[in-house]
Chains A and B, each alone.
Chain A
């Protein structure tokens, strides 16, 4: 089966009189990697389950390629899902787990055996056929769950926080491994995650969700540099917001608020032109590995900045953010399109 595009049109889900998903529109191009990103409870897992057929829609349409799968039961949708808990069947061996989808499709035993062995090779778990799944480590289980989904050559791969149960080190290595595998197979993939770093690293397209709605659909770079509103920005690590002052740089002259990331804000460095500066008292100084994170109490807000050396608590310091790192927001907290510099001067 070849990989296919996925189209969601006005997908709405109600559970117990509560609207969980509210009119979701989404286009996923064939072979791409899409991340559903958002805080817990935003409906991203429900959306994935709706695509897989486990959550009935109250409105809307889901199309895989040309056909509508909205009213098909899960087993007829041919979407392959990897569950957060992996959902490997403990009463079956590794080989039986991988072979079960093939068995359901009537693949003869010899052919099954060959494809299981090939899949295990691909997952770098060759010879694991007769192992019990309970003996596997978390990372190995994750790979078997992935292999079980991929063994049927599905047109669409659904991943429900596949890496969240793993140690940080394994998670990082599996991220790139998963992405490589996805690229080499060219399979349309949708992954749910609450980890913005994971989404930024892996996705071609990030769908940012909040309270059952899609807030922004963008490539990782765009989402990171131009978050749709302050909420999205905060979720993506923009920890600092300041109201705009007269003397502030003129980028986005209509901006009411500027947002910036802690690592873009420097403390007590020689002042440069076209920077945003704030003065405040140091209330905290924490070592972070590649520097010190300084908490600064200004009159209007508590701001965070980065310094190369520790700064004594209670002293006054100047925080400085280059113009390029400022994200402008309008009075309605929505992102303002960055103005062209020439336009700005004129």
Chain B
């Protein structure tokens, strides 16, 4: 490989890095807060650096571990629930000539279209009657509601992107409808389904309002922990929590970028 060939990706990397800096500049402040031990007005930069707040956050009784565990558990459950509903729904929407297809698709968007505060307040009121407030189940349900939007829209697109003749070829050569779905359609749609799962996961990890109304104070997730810390003026704890939340987000963004191919994206909402 010649030097010029090496330079091209290098130059591209530098440019992308610059863009990333502009976009993610505010993040730098966050990172500084995470490692600042002393930072008082009017200093531009922290006067003392260190890991002591990290230790405080991850002290066994500080609640960060429980919140992290709750966050991941709720996110995984929300993914399972949303995908369990979205896979059959998405397949039906992609393949069947449903008369009110666009209406159904729009219906799934509605929870996102309304301001979500009144929705969550009402859900909290209903869940209170059912005894779901303050339970993990309640939080999972409330997280699956916006999750389902992504899940249904993306799985529908993923299934529409699967060439119908691939399924027909399997049927023609002797596969039952279920067999052709599991052997042909599912493997073909898998990247799109993974992308949908990741979207639900990320959405759930960041979810605040619903968790606040349905889960608090019994269930604490990382966003709630962060909220409490910021409200208490403890910017270090808030920054550290935010950084932890950033890890899965950035990681999965990279994965999505790989899995969500243009032909699937082009079919979102069709």
Contacts and interface: CB of A to CB of B under 8 A. Distances in A.
Interface of A: 52-54, 73-75, 77-81, 83-85, 87-91, 100-101, 104-105, 148-149, 152
A148 B172 CA distance: 11
A85 B172 contact: no
Interface of B: 163, 165-166, 168-177, 179, 183-184, 187-188
Given A87-B166, A89-B166, A91-B188, A79 B183 contact: no
B173 A104 contact: yes
Given A83-B168, A83-B169, A101 B163 contact: no
B165 A152 contact: no
Contacts of B165: 83-85, 87
A100 B163 contact: no
A77 B168 CA distance: 13
Contacts of A84: 165
Contacts of B187: 91
B257 to A, nearest CB: 21
Top 6 closest pairs, chain A to chain B, by CB:
A87-B169, A101-B173, A87-B165, A74-B171, A104-B174, A91-B187
Contacts of B183: 100
B175 A81 contact: no
Given A87-B163, A90-B188, A100-B183, A152 B168 contact: no
Contacts of B171: 53-54, 73-75
Contacts of A80: 172-173
Contacts of A83: 165, 168-169
Contact of A152 (B166, B169, B174, B176): B174
8 contacts: A53-B171, A73-B177, A74-B168, A85-B163, A90-B188, A100-B170, A101-B174, A152-B174
A149 B168 contact: no
Contact of B172 (A52, A88, A89, A91): A52
Contacts of B177: 73
B6 to A, nearest CB: 29
A152 B173 contact: yes
Contacts of B168: 52, 54, 74, 81, 83, 87
A85 B174 CA distance: 19
B166 A105 contact: no
A81 B169 contact: yes
A15 to B, nearest CB: 11
A73 to B, nearest CB: 7
B172 A105 contact: no
Nearest to B180: A75
Contacts of B176: 75
A105 B170 CA distance: 12
Contact of B173 (A85, A90, A91, A100): A100
Contacts of A74: 168, 171-172
B209 to A, nearest CB: 40
Contacts of B170: 89, 100
B175 A75 contact: yes
A92 to B, nearest CB: 9
Nearest to B168: A54
A148 B188 contact: no
Nearest to B187: A91
B169 A105 contact: no
Contact of A149 (B163, B173, B179, B188): B173
Contacts of A91: 187-188
A152 B173 CA distance: 8
Contacts of A105: 174
A53 B173 CA distance: 12
Interface centre among A77, A78, A87, A91 (most CB of B within 10 A): A87
Nearest to B167: A87
Nearest to B171: A74
A78 B188 CA distance: 25
Nearest to A105: B174
Contacts of A52: 168, 172
Contacts of A87: 163, 165-166, 168-169
Contacts of B172: 52-54, 74-75, 77, 79-81
Contacts of B166: 87, 89
B188 A75 contact: no
Contacts of A78: 174
Given A75-B176, A81-B168, A89-B166, 7 more contacts: A80-B172, A83-B169, A89-B184, A91-B188, A101-B173, A104-B173, A148-B169
Contacts of A149: 173
A106 B176 CA distance: 14
A148 B173 contact: yes
Contacts of A148: 169, 173
Interface centre among B165, B171, B174, B183 (most CB of A within 10 A): B174
Contacts of A81: 168-169, 172
A84 B168 CA distance: 12
Contacts of B174: 75, 78, 101, 104-105, 152
Contacts of A89: 166, 169-170, 184, 188
A57 B25 CA distance: 64
Contacts of B173: 75, 80, 100-101, 104, 148-149, 152
Contacts of A104: 173-175, 179
A68 B102 CA distance: 39
B243 to A, nearest CB: 38
A323 B225 CA distance: 97
A80 B172 CA distance: 6
